[in-house]
């Protein structure tokens, strides 16, 4: 019996190019990456370096130009749009910088929607539990326009965890918030992640947030390198 960790995400010779008017632009080149189940991984780098593109490809939101990408053991590079969507619904949660809540749904309804789409019978009970976990029990019937930015992001985090995903992707989860609110959101994200044992992959410009992850990867000009933790960092 193998004692090796289960692989949550794997990329092999991943390459992403886009066609411009008179040339092809290479966004990602020869990315090789393995992330084991339960790891916390931060991807850092300058704006335009390819961080969000990489996150989208690893999550099955975007496709590769060449190479292989495996998510929860499934070959994303071989799946069509419908199959990728079904895999994301089963295995993946998302937290976006811009929250992306549906304005016509209440906080509770936004949280429970992914679970309802997945056919989870206790979606409402799970949603109310998560509302409590993120400290928004009294905001259940509020619409996004009635919530502060921090409250909207808490709703978004609860929504990401409701299906108990194996893998969570977060793209600048606290970038649109003030420092104090952002710190609370980050604490909440890591607390729920530890509670559910989820694999966490996040993109951030915040070095303090990145250092909370077990691994840190640097994206520069489409190439990915692993950063060695500094002495005194806690994995």
Instruction: For 16-46, write each residue's pLDDT tens digit.
Output: 998 888 888 899 999 999 999 999 999 999 8
E-only strand ranges, 88-136: 92-95
Indicate if the pLDDT at residue 233 is higher than 60: no
- How would you class 229 by CB atoms within 10 Å of its CB: exposed for 0-12, middle for 13-18, buried for 19 or more? middle
Mean pLDDT rounded to a whole number for the chain: 89
Interval 107-127: pLDDT, tens? 999 999 999 988 888 999 999
Which residues make beta-bridge pairs with 94? 169
Q: Give me the pLDDT at residue 235, please.
A: 44
CATH code for the part of the protein at 7-227: 3.40.50.300
Structural domain spans, the chain: 7-227
Indicate if the pLDDT at residue 60 is higher than 70: yes
Confidence class of residue 5 from pLDDT cuts 50, 70 and 90?
Answer: low
């Amino acid at each position: 019996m193998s004692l090796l960790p289960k692989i949550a995400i794997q990329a092999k010779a991943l390459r992403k190019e886009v066609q411009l008017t008179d040339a092809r632009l290479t966004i990602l080149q020869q990315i090789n990456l393995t992330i084991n189940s339960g790891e916390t991984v931060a991807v850092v780098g300058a704006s335009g370096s390819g961080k969000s593109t990489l996150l989208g490809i690893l999550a099955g939101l975007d496709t590769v130009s060449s190479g292989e990408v495996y998510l929860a053991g499934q070959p994303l590079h071989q799946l069509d749009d419908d199959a990728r969507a079904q895999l994301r619904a089963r295995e993946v949660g998302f937290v976006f910088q811009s929250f992306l809540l549906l304005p016509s749904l209440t906080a509770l309804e936004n949280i429970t929607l992914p679970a309802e789409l997945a056919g989870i019978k206790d979606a409402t009970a799970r949603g109310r539990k998560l509302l409590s976990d993120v400290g928004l029990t009294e905001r259940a019937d509020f619409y996004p326009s009635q919530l502060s930015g921090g409250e909207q992001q808490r709703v978004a985090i609860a929504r990401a965890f409701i299906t108990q995903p194996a893998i969570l992707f977060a793209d600048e989860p606290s970038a649109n918030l003030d420092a104090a609110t952002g710190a609370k959101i980050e604490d909440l994200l890591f607390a729920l992640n530890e509670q559910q044992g989820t694999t966490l992959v996040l993109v951030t410009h915040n070095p303090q947030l990145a250092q909370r992850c077990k691994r840190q990867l640097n994206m520069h000009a489409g190439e990915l390198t692993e950063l060695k933790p500094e002495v005194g960092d806690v994995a």
